[in-house]
Chains A and B, each alone.
Chain A
Amino acid sequence: MPVVGLIQRIVGPLIVAKNMIGARMHELVRLGELGIIGEIIRLERDRAAIQAYEETTGLRPGDKVEGTGKPLSVTLGPGLMGKIYDGVQRPLPGIADKSGSFIERGMSIDPLEMDKKWFFQPLIKAGSKVVGGDILGLVQETPLVLHRILVPPFYEGVVRHIVKEGDYSIREPIAEIETPRGSIQKVYLAQTWPVRVPRPYKVMMPPTIPQSTGQRVIDAFFPICKGGTIMIPGGFGTGKTVMLHQLAKFIEADIVVFVGCGERGNEMADVLESFPKLRDPKSGEPLMARTILIANTSNMPIAAREASVYTGLTMAEYYRDMGYDVALMADSTSRWAEALREISGRLEEMPGEEGYPAYLAARLAEFYSRAGHVITLGSDDRRGSITVIGAVSPPGGDFSEPVTQNTLRIVKVFWALDSSLAHRRHFPAINWLTSYSMYFDQVTESYNKEVGSDWGRIVREAITLLGQEEEVKEVASLLGTEVLAESQRLIVEVARNLRENFLRQSAFHPVDGYCSKEKTFHMLRTILKFYRKARFAIGQEVPLNRIMSLPVIEEMARMKLIPSEEIAKVADEIDKKIDEEINLLVEEQARKKKG
């Protein structure tokens, strides 16, 4: 029998209840007449502290608290793709159907369509032995996603019955498994899972498989791997959200889970309007067909914001377990940490740095530890991955604050966004001097084989050049530009070229928005070819301003607007022109010297 207790105190999102003996930690409860949802976050004798997932206005001491006997869980099954949920998996369209354009309280709505029929194709016969993670059959969930119906974790036994190929809803059992102890477990197309418990897997492996993003500065300089952990910190307006949207569109992944955690309503509206129109570059299907959105915006209740990242992670794990590569974006983990802080403050816990609870670091570590590249449960040793990319919004853009610092210790990739770059509209505003990726060597090695054998060499050359630019600029600012040698001026010019034409990438341009790694490679190689050739010419005393006014300069600048498929050809032509045009200058100079 679930517990029924009484509200003792209400302070904002925190409720204290008494007569709660028998209630369990993280149990979901219903509060007051409206049945507002809450979750038990602390138990002390007969008293429970509850975080409310909805506004608490109107609740009174003495109102009843009804336990549900269940922890906060999500329903996992066909129908997740293309949905938009709040932080506790209530579909926002369903809420709109019931309450109109503004969100009312106390609503319960099924997370998945209960009666929709899915075409199920069994892959296993009655009599087979199965364990958790084995594939029972398939459902084509969307044109992009083949949903593998798995034996839930910890189930084991012999399949006594499995339905024939046909249409089934998530209410109908599709298989019965007899356990070694002789009991029968029914399996449905959908299952539930508590969000705060990571779903099990067999083996966690280090991320080593490169994951391209279609963003030049990332794929070349700060690349990521499947199953990696990435943070993207930056002050307001530096481009975190735009970058996460770009990744959601173009990252090399089967499934995308986007968690809008305490951010703007219009940004979710933007995704909802633009994603259905955008097509997956490979299949031509709408991107929404592989995307789940979780939207708990800044003005929605903060406890549900706290829960939203776990809701997202659990869905990600479910698809990972099918053997897919999943990318999860959280915008912004700072708002999640602030929700933790607020609840902790209301609980009157001992505050740590900047008022955050002492367990902030542990919670962040837990969160990112659910990323990874794994061998899943099941007898076929499938591989799946979850890449987690978290935006961080440091107050005042100051990276020394606790959320940035604690995240920095955990993640392997750091894309530091820079306000001064954003102010001059250099986007993505990733600071190329302070960012890093610990996957750089692995990725470079793979791309050497996959894209071009000198990938690593030219990428390193470009990074060096950008560093040299910084040094030259320092000299110039101290001693004036007059003291610079032609070769130093060339460094400045080529670095500018790199910044303007390679690093800068417009998210909103139909061609430039996505750049294949082949295109990235060709662009970089051509710019560096120019550099070497120009350096040679300067050695032959050709004046720099003659070189910089060659027609080929402009052609190089427009390379980013060439579609990926045509780039190899165009780059070849430009390379030829670089040789021809500079050779002419060198010959001319040689004649001048003689004559």
Chain B
Amino acid sequence: MSSLPHIKLASVREISGPLLFVETMPGASFGELVEVTTPTGEERWGQIIDVSEDITLIQVFEGTLDLDVKSTIIRHTGTPIKLRVSMDMLGRTFDGRGNPRDGGPSIIAEDELDVHGKPINPYCRAHPSEFIQTGISVIDGMNTLLRGQKLPIFSGSGLPHRLLAAQIVRQATVLGQAEAFTVILAAMGVTGDEAKFFRDEFERMGVMDRVVVFLNMAEDPALERILTPRLALTAAEYLAFEQDMHVLVVLVDMTYYCEALREVSAARAEVPGRRGFPGYMYTDLATIYERAGKIHGKKGSITQVPILTMPEDDITHPIPDLTAYITEGQLVFDRDLYRRGIYPPINPLPSLSRLMDKGIGGGKTREDHKQLSDQLYYAYAEGRIVREAAMISGEEALTERDRLYLKFVDRFEREFINQAPYENRDIEKTLDIGWNVLSVFPEAELSRIDPDIIKKYYRGSGSKA
């Protein structure tokens, strides 16, 4: 494309935070990859994020520690940041820059792809419609995941999101289809323990040969986290849309990603948005999350399960808030459920799967699924209000109806939401448990379900009140 010589040396004028200000070299282009050699000969990566006639601004992914103004060497490459892709990626672990981290050889590339990808033409998108059975009742029954959906988990510090992510990876299947998911894990800012947890899990599942891992550890450079999810999604797009695979991408932990974004923004002295995060974070996150989906005429798909920890369990914090404004729903952890020993501690009320309706019902899951789920929502919402009231003014003050709801909330949490990390419930089982807990109520109370469905599935003894 360009007649640039591959290597150009530029001199550094100023270093500030993770940013280098260098004299602009002829041909420097916006978004270009540069190689930075430290005075001690170490190689780093950078990207041009602002370029004018005289000054080029470079963000250095490994940080600027040890760099100096005099002897740091900058090489322009003339290309955007690319990832070398091929089927050999399967079974391998890479670092946050896409180099092997497992001691194995570099892969033989079929292609080199710009890690920023290109937007999917909305006209070419095929709307997700296939139900993924995760075997987890509160997801399958009430916040169904579909193939091609992006559905994040909003966790809190110390809550068992890793366990849940592993369970989803282990159990996710599309009914009636033998083909298993190819799994891509992008881990940002994880500790050695966490990395080991995932590796052990994958090995135990015996799925290592269909897993690709991109690992940026807690001690690795923070700015590299800006790149890690993009590498993972570039690999995913290759496997899904070039190699026809169904790819499940787990991104953990997006909170660290956002913090890296904030660091760059602060170093550039940009006007900060809410809580110091940049005003463009919505758009930036969208360029990650929107890389999920299905495309007309292509066999493969990308399903995304991003995980983030809500700072101080606050769902209005910009990280969960902007995420949920982009993703197709969210699974929200609740510390109170966790304290009471409920696993997975997903509170269905603030949780949502926007695509659910397209993937459930007769012929897909079961005809009663939607109405049952609606009724469970209603009853759980009512029940939690009653439980709160009972805590304030005592159970004596409750009406007959209230007592039923109180009973329901407890059973619902213990029997429906709660399950073991290794328990895989099929959709029939999940729905049946739903009807079991609803049997607390007389038929007449089930106002969100049609009479003929009630007749067929209701298993309570309560006659009409």
Contacts and interface: CB of A to CB of B under 8 A. Distances in A.
B30 A56 contact: yes
B247 interface: no
A59 B29 contact: yes
Interface residues of A, number: 70
Contacts of B148: 266
A58 B220 CA distance: 28
Contacts of A12: 49-50, 280
B349 interface: yes
A573 interface: no
Interface string A256-285: 000010101110111011000000000000
Interface hub of B32, B127, B148 (most chain A Cβ within 10 A): B127
Query: Which size class do B's interface residues fall under?
Result: 35 or more
Contacts of B27: 60
A397 B120 contact: no
A8 B444 CA distance: 72
Contact of A9 (B52, B118, B122, B296): B52
A481 B397 contact: yes
B24 interface: yes
B377 A61 contact: no
B325 A393 contact: yes
Contacts of A400: none
A157 B119 CA distance: 48
Interface in A86-108: 92-93, 95-96, 99-104
B290 A92 contact: no
A198 interface: no
Nearest to A548: B465
B120 A236 contact: no
Per DSSP, chain A at the interface is mixed
Given A103-B121, A265-B125, A59 B279 contact: no
Interface string A389-400: 000010111100
A438 interface: no
Contact of A58 (B24, B30, B297): B30
B210 interface: no
A56 B31 contact: yes
A302 B290 CA distance: 14
A482 interface: yes
A338 B127 contact: no
Contacts of A268: 122-123, 125
Interface in B41-87: 49-53, 80
Given A60-B29, A236-B321, A424-B378, A298 B279 contact: no
B393 A480 contact: yes
B287 interface: yes
Contacts of A2: none
A589 B280 CA distance: 68
A465 to B, nearest CB: 19
A335 interface: yes
B9 interface: no
A549 B443 CA distance: 13
Contacts of A92: 121-123
A354 B51 contact: no
B349 A9 contact: no
Nearest to A482: B397
A299 B352 CA distance: 22
B99 to A, nearest CB: 23
A102 B233 CA distance: 14
B96 interface: no
B316 A396 contact: yes
A288 to B, nearest CB: 13
B31 A101 contact: no
B121 A101 contact: yes
Given A57-B31, A58-B29, A236-B321, A298 B125 contact: no
Contacts of B18: none
Interface in A225-276: 235-237, 260, 262, 264-266, 268-270, 272-273
B122 A236 contact: no
A60 B352 contact: no
A237 B352 contact: yes
Interface in B346-378: 349-350, 352, 354-355, 357, 374, 377-378
A277 to B, nearest CB: 12
Contacts of A430: none
Interface in A377-395: 393, 395
Contacts of A16: 52
Contact of A59 (B30, B350, B357): B30
A130 interface: no
Interface in A424-449: 424-425
A2 B276 CA distance: 43
Interface hub of B29, B121, B282, B381 (most chain A Cβ within 10 A): B121
A341 B279 contact: yes
B270 interface: yes
Given A345-B271, A481-B399, A298 B122 contact: no
A61 B122 contact: no
A57 B116 contact: yes
A477 interface: yes
B119 A297 contact: yes
Contacts of A84: 122-123
Contacts of B121: 92, 95-96, 99-103
B206 to A, nearest CB: 33
Contacts of B329: 237
A104 B313 CA distance: 40
A351 interface: yes
Nearest to B142: A425
Contacts of B321: 235-236, 395-397
A581 B121 CA distance: 60
Contacts of B128: 266
A423 B127 contact: no
A512 interface: no
B157 interface: no
Contacts of B297: 101
B196 to A, nearest CB: 34
A104 B357 contact: no
Interface in A474-489: 477, 480-482
Interface in B278-312: 279-280, 282-283, 286-287, 290-291, 293, 295-298
Contacts of B398: 481
Contacts of A297: 119, 122, 286, 290
Interface hub of B24, B279, B297, B399 (most chain A Cβ within 10 A): B279
A236 B325 contact: yes
Contact of B126 (A269, A295, A419, A557): A269
B26 A10 contact: no
Interface in B1-38: 1, 24, 26-32
A104 B349 CA distance: 41
Contacts of A93: 123
Given A61-B28, A235-B321, A265-B290, 17 more contacts: A10-B30, A10-B51, A57-B114, A57-B116, A58-B31, A60-B28, A61-B24, A102-B117, A102-B118, A237-B329, A237-B330, A265-B122, A269-B126, A299-B286, A355-B273, A480-B397, A481-B399
Interface of A: 8-12, 16, 55-62, 84, 92-93, 95-96, 99-104, 235-237, 260, 262, 264-266, 268-270, 272-273, 295, 297-300, 302, 335, 338, 341-342, 345, 351, 354-355, 393, 395-398, 419, 423-425, 477, 480-482, 500, 508, 549, 554, 557
15 contacts: A10-B29, A12-B280, A57-B116, A58-B32, A84-B122, A103-B118, A104-B118, A268-B123, A269-B125, A269-B127, A419-B350, A424-B381, A425-B374, A477-B389, A508-B357
Q: Which 3 A-B pairs have the closest CB atoms?
A: A57-B31, A298-B286, A396-B316
